[in-house]
Structures are given as C-alpha cells and as structure tokens.
Amino acid sequence: MIKKLSTLGLLAFAVMGCQTQGKVAGNTGKSPNATVQASKNSNGLKSYNEVITSQAVTDDGLFNTHRVGDKLYFEIPLDLMEKDMLLVSRIAQVPSGFGGGYVNAGSKVNEQVVRWSRRGDNVDLKVISFENESDEDSPIYQSVLVNNFFPILYSAKIAAYNSDSTAVVAEVNSLFENDIEAINGVSSSLKKRYKVKKLDSNRSYIESVRSFPKNIEVKHVMTYEAEEPPERGQAGTISLMMNQSMVLLPDDKMQPRIADYRVGWFTTKKFDYDSEELKSDDYEIIRRWRLEPTDVEAYKRGELVEPVKPIVYYLDPGTPEKWRPYFRQGIEDWNVAFEAAGFKNAIIAKDPPSKEEDPDFSPEDVRYSVVRYVASTTRNATGPSVTDPRTGEIIESDIIWYHNHLRSYRNRYMIEAGAQNPSARTLNTPEEEIGEMMRMVIAHEIGHALGLPHNMKASAAYPTDSLRSASFTQEYGLTPSIMDYARVNYVAQPEDEGVRFIRMMGPYDLYAINWGYRYIPEAKSAREEKATLDKWIAEKAGDPVYEFGGGYDGVDPQSQRESLGDDQVMASEYGLANLKKVVPNLIEWTSKDGYGYDELAEVYRELTGMWRGYISHVIANVGGVYETRKTSDQEGAIYSPVPEEMQKKAVAFLNNHAFTSPEWLLERDLLDRIESSGAIERVQALQTNSLNNLLNEKRLQRMITNEQVNGRDVYTAVELMKDLRTGIFKELYAGQRTDAYRRNLQRSFVDAASSYVRKVNGAEDDRILKSDVIALMRGEMERLKRDISQRKSRVNDPLTQYHWNDLIARIDQGLRMDL
C-alpha cells in the first residue's frame, strides 16, 4: 500500500533521524542506552542528581518538568523525539488598552507543529509544516523534501540524562525568557506602534509550569521597554503574560475531509504535488472532532448511534450557579444537529468535578475541554480550539465567556427590543431572558469550536416581514443559523405580539454538521468521500436556507453582520422606527436613584452605533453584488448585481434618514444629562463616515463596470451622484436655509469628491490616474459649483450664504491642479 506522508516525516528522519540513530546505535551493535551512556561519559556531562537536585520542584506528565531555583528543565523522553507536537501560543494576561482594546486575554497569537530532535549533545525544537505533501514512493517526493527544509526554533545543550538514559535533561529558560518572535505576543506592527526598544530580561521570567499526560503548559511574563506604551503610567514598559501549550498529537491519524466553499468550515490548506493536474493540487481540509460510531452496522441502517468518544465540555468551577443551566443547554443544543448526522449523545455538558471526584482536574489539561468563565471587564466570548493540522482533527477546545459580556446583551436587548418588549426596558434584564441570550452565545461559540465559521448570509434566507410573525419566529427563529450575527429581533414592531426576540439554532446548522460529521464508512480516503459530499450539497442547491456567505468582503448586502431578513432597507426602516421610540425613554429605563448617568451615556452611545450599523446595511446595496456559491457543474452565475430598483430604494432611504438632521437622536433632555457638548460632532462623524463608505472607490468602480457589462436597466454611478447631490443639497434647490448638521454634511460631500481629484497629483498608482471615478467627481463638482452660483442668493440667511460661498471656494481649491 502506498503510504501518504507529508514532507514532515521523512525530512525530519533524513536530516536529524540518521544523526540521532548514529549517536544512539551507531554501527557497533550496542544497545541505544549503552551508546548514550558512553556518550555521556565521554562528554563529561553532569549526573542527573547534580542537575535535578533535591531542591527541584518536579511535575510529572507528558515529560517531566523541573524547577530548580530560577531554572526550568525539561526531561524529554527519547521516545518522544521526532514526535509531532502542537505548540499553541496565547496571551494569558494583557495590559489595559493593549492592541487598542482588541487583543484580549486568551487571544491566540500562533499555532505551529514542532518536534524535539536530538543532535549530538544538543536538543533542537524544529517547526514543521504539513502544507506540502507527496507519496513517499513518488519520484517528486525527494524534491518536496529538499525544497521544504524546516527551521530550528530553539536549541539547548543537554545538561544530563536520566538514571536509565531514556530521557535527556535540558535547561529551557531562554526559550521563554528571550524575544522569540514565533511565540511572543507583541507583533512587529505593535512593536512599531508602541516604539518598543527591546525585551528587558531582568523583568521577564517564567511564572509557572504544569505537566499533564498529553500536554505541557508554561506561563511566562515578557516585559518590553517601550517609549509609547498603550496606557500612561506603565513605567515605560509593556508587560504581558504568555501561555505556551505543547500538545502531543495522535499517532493514529484521523481521515481528513476535503472542504467545499459552499458549506462554511474552518479549514487547513494543503498542496499535493502528486496531482495529475499541470500544477500542485491545492485544496483544504475541514477542522472537526473525530466522531466514529460505536456500532457501524447500526449506523449504516440509519439508527442513531453513540460515538466512540463523545465531545465533552466541562463548566469552569468559577461559573456562577445560576448561569450553569443555560451554559449546559447551549452546549447540548448541538445534539439536535449531531442527530441529523446519525449520532446521539455526541456532545455532553458536565459540571466541574469536585476535588474528591477528580483531584487532578485542571482546565489546562488538554484532555478536558472547558467553558471558562472569566472575571473580566472584556465584553466578549470566544470559541477557540486546538487542531491537528495534519488531518484537521480538533483535539481540544476552551470556550471563553467574559463576565461583562452580560452587559453587552443587556444593553442591546434594551436598545433593539425595548420599543416592542416591556421586559427589555430595564438594566436588570429578567434572568430567563438574559439566560436565554447567554445560552445562545454559548451555542454560537460551541459552533465555532465544532469547526463552523460565521455564516453572515443565513439571515437573508428569511423574508424580512416574516420576522414580525409570532408563528414564524417561534418555529424558525431569526435566521437559519446560530452562526450568523443576528442577536436581537429589531424588525418586530410594538404591535407584533408573541414574536421571538432572541436568535436560536436553525436548519443550516443541522445541514452543516451533517455534511461535516456524518460518518461515511464506505469511503477509505478523503477523495472517495467527495462524490457523496457533493450529492448532499446538490440536494439543497437553490434553497437560500442552506447557502453560506462569510460576509467579510463587504460586497454582498445579503452577507452582513447584524442584518436581518432579505430586504436590508426594509429592516433598517423597522429598526429606525423602534429606535425613535426608545430614545425618549432612555432616561427612565437607565436611571437609578442615588447614581449618576453613566449607564445612560453608555446605552445612548451604543444606540448611536447600532443606528450606524443599520445605515451601513443599506449602503451595502448600492453597487452591491449578490454571491451564490457554486461549482462548475451547477448552472447560473455566481455573481449578480443588486437590482436597479433596490439600489434606488437604498439611496432614497439614505437621503431621507441618514443624510438628514437626526432630530430624534438629539433628545435635548437626554443630552443635557450626559455631555456639555459634542452632538454636532457626533452626527457629523456618523454622516461623514456613511458618506465616505457610500462613495468608496471600489463601490463606484463596480457600478461603472456593471453599466459597461450590462448596459441598460442598471443603476449608474452618474445617477447615484445626481440623487445624492439633489438630496444632500436639497436646501439649495428649494431656496431654504441650512442648519449646522446639513452644512457639515455638505462640506463632507465636497471634501469627499475633492479627495479623488487630488489623487491625480503625484499618484503612483496608474489605476487611479485612469479611473473614471476622478472624471465623475470632477464633473459633479463643476455642476455643483454652477448650481450654487446660480441659486445662492435665493435665501435670505447670512450664514447659509456664507456657507454657499465657502463651498465654492472649496470646490475651486479641489479642482486646482497645482495643490
């Protein structure tokens, strides 16, 4: 049988294995241990007891670790040399404001396969790649080997051998106390941002080390000298605690499953050089847990069968008792999806064991997956996992729930459901409802840990008006997938009784889990599974409930975070109608006798942000392109422009709601309690950002391309600019005075158009010089200048006339080529 190997296996053997073999066994016929002993004596290494003294603090596990004073020693068994291990680097503790607040404790900074290798009197830690692969009997295999040489991450002298010469002892302090880029938490961009000088070795040290049967955990503090640390008062330094996990990967490799971009999965990329194609065959495998039925024959008959090894999540001992039932439900909600894949009791939630039940239980032990409850002001939850890159097998996962994420959902519920749902009109959200929200957050994060990415397209499968229906939402939820960002039903109106306000799992989730986890016993390789997997996709083709879209390129308006329904304009109109009812009540809903208005300010600020989100949902339709993922055997186009009428509808919404003075948002009673000034600047920022988003060069280029390719019946860039000009400058054309908000918006319009023309000067990108967008903007400014010149005297308001004159000056400046 031809054995399929990545470049890892034989390269490590060819480069290091022969040396190791020679050192251990040589050609003398002696036993390996005898040769090791001879080597030890000839090199004058210290005895084990001289290095690992009676003062050593030892922890037994995958390999023994020893702390002797300030020194850390790894005692690495020889039978673990050349074994695949996964080195996962995470930030365990982070300073305030680090990374702009977007880098949290628990953030993964790197994940790489490593191998310990013995090289004479040294041990090397090599970084191994599994991207490039070939059959070992293939002629090209040797080329793959020599063109994928693996780097040495770290090397240390062997200090001693253990008593029976089955393990080497090496001091590894410098691995954790030096600035090794592959495992540190301060990226090169952050070093530049904070003007980091160097790592301070006097303030960098190993905090702790734990050894478990399948993993080693080391925590170490890294302190950098920095001229501009993220927060003042940090003594000119940045200190953070790193956690390095070294996990032994299984010898018995799981059969991979080849990914298909039509079904959303986290993936690992591969390059197969044995392909018959006239190139390397690049493909991806999905990341998933190893689930195999205990009774294959019963599974084949269609019976639900328990897996050999179920997925088990333990709750963190620090999880408050009242939240534990919701966490357990969120975990085990996925059993419905696994039943669709033929498994019962596939995922199990357990309370943390007591000391009596399991005195060695630790969340850091890779044998246990844990939902960790973190006492932190961070408002987030994450679902990371540890994956074997050779096969895509998920080895372990720790879900992280940060305590203050409760605050996020409390606020969102008030803002988006307060108009419709009386129980949302308080900062003390009823336990049953906040518990249901927590349950669905945990379910969402478990989905990530099972291998599923966000599916932002899911929500567009449901008609927007259906989200106002009690019967529809109670049965189908807000979206076909819990992996969408669609957290609260802001479409429902106050008169819609009995609707569901909180998301839940849906049919896409069952479909995706079945596609990724159903056991296919007749397939003996990943390639042999493909026909079956393709058949399952074909059965659902054309049904939007089963479509996937990541939503990260900003092109498809149906793939957006927090968007609800298939009509984003209608959804935003409903959302705005609710916000207008919420704002006048915020003082009452957030106030507490004896306290200030900090909560009011926070909720109001977040409400403004959600309004900005509704606007962006609408903008995405202008110049937008729908994406329906297909393969070449499926009929029809993958990309199709948003229809002309929908684009016009979106621009009309923007002119009527986004680019008018938002009097409803400027509740005087409210603002007088939270700020002395800032309302004008806040509205200006919101409108300017929205306008710049709408006039994005890529968006305009898509519209120009669409006109060129499709001809008639398209919404053109010229029409967009005309509709915007007549909307944003409607006071000019109606002979009316302008208020401060509108003046700011009109200046922003001229500035945005001028910025394109300025790109002509000194442009290094030839694409910009040849772009129709510059001609479009120049023509719009010239037209606007003529209109202002002809109409500016029609209104008897000095400030408005000054404003029109100022705009003419700005346009003249923007059009000049000598700037």
Q: Where are the alpha helices (DSSP H) in 63-219?
A: 141-146, 173-177, 188-193
Q: Are 243 and 225 spatial neighbours (Cβ–Cβ below 8 Å)?
A: no
Given a cut of 70, whether residue 514 has pLDDT beyond it is yes
Name the pLDDT band for 358 (thresholds 50, 70, 90): confident
Are the CB atoms for 174 and 156 separated by under 8 Å?
Answer: yes
Q: What is the mean pLDDT of residues 744-766?
A: 79
Q: Say what the pLDDT of residue 132 is.
A: 47
Q: pLDDT band for 138, please (50, 70, 90 cuts).
A: low
Task: Give SS3 for 134.
Answer: strand
What integer pLDDT is reported at residue 233 of this predicted model?
A: 57
How many other β-carbons are positioned within 10 Å of the β-carbon of residue 810?
Answer: 18
For residue 596, count other CB atoms closer than 10 A to its CB: 11
Q: Other C-beta atoms within 10 Å of 195: how many?
A: 11
How far is 407 from 415, CA to CA, in rounded Å?
Answer: 12
Instruction: For residue 76, report the phi and psi dihedrals to the nearest 5 degrees.
Output: -100, 115
Report long-range pairs for 16-24 (Cβ below 8 Å, ≥24 apart).
16/82, 16/117, 16/118, 16/119, 16/124, 16/126, 17/82, 19/119, 19/120, 20/81, 20/82, 20/117, 20/118, 20/119, 23/118, 23/120, 24/78
Q: What is the pLDDT of residue 236?
A: 85
> What is the pLDDT, as a whole number, of residue 455?
97
Which has the closest alpha carbon to 447: 367, 372, 505?
A: 505
Q: How confident is the model over 59-94, as pLDDT tens digits?
A: 999 999 999 999 999 999 999 999 999 999 988 887
Hey, which of 227-236, 279-288, 716-725 has the most confident mean pLDDT?
716-725
| C-alpha distances in Å from residue 15, one per residue of 7, 11, 113 | 12, 6, 17
pLDDT of residue 21: 30
Lowest-confidence range among 135-149, 213-227, 379-393, 585-599?
Answer: 135-149
Which of 277-281, 294-298, 376-380 has the lowest average pLDDT? Answer: 277-281
Domain boundaries, the chain: 4-248, 296-511+519-614, 667-815
Question: Is beta strand 85-93 parallel, antiparallel or unpaired with respect to 108-119?
Answer: antiparallel
514: helix, strand or coil: helix
Question: Which of 21-25, 380-384, 529-533, 571-575 has the lowest average pLDDT?
Answer: 21-25
The span from the CA of 489 to the CA of 732, in Å, is: 39
Rounded CA-CA distance 342/126 in Å is: 41
pLDDT mean across residues, the chain = 88
The backbone region for 96, taken as left when phi is positive above 0, alpha when psi lies in -120 to 50, beta otherwise, is beta
Task: Give the model's pLDDT for residue 151.
Answer: 84
d(CA 651, CA 659): 10
pLDDT of residue 280: 55
CA distance 361 to 372: 14
pLDDT band of residue 281 (cuts 50, 70, 90) is low
User: For 35-67, how does the pLDDT look when each residue is reduced to its tens digit (9 = 90+)?
Assistant: 444 344 446 689 999 999 999 999 999 999 999
> pLDDT per residue over 534-558, tens digit each?
999 999 999 999 999 988 888 999 9
| pLDDT at residue 816 in the model | 80
Beta bridge partners of 402: 374
What's the average model confidence in pLDDT over 691-714? 90
Name the percent of the chain lying above pLDDT 70.
88
pTM: 0.87
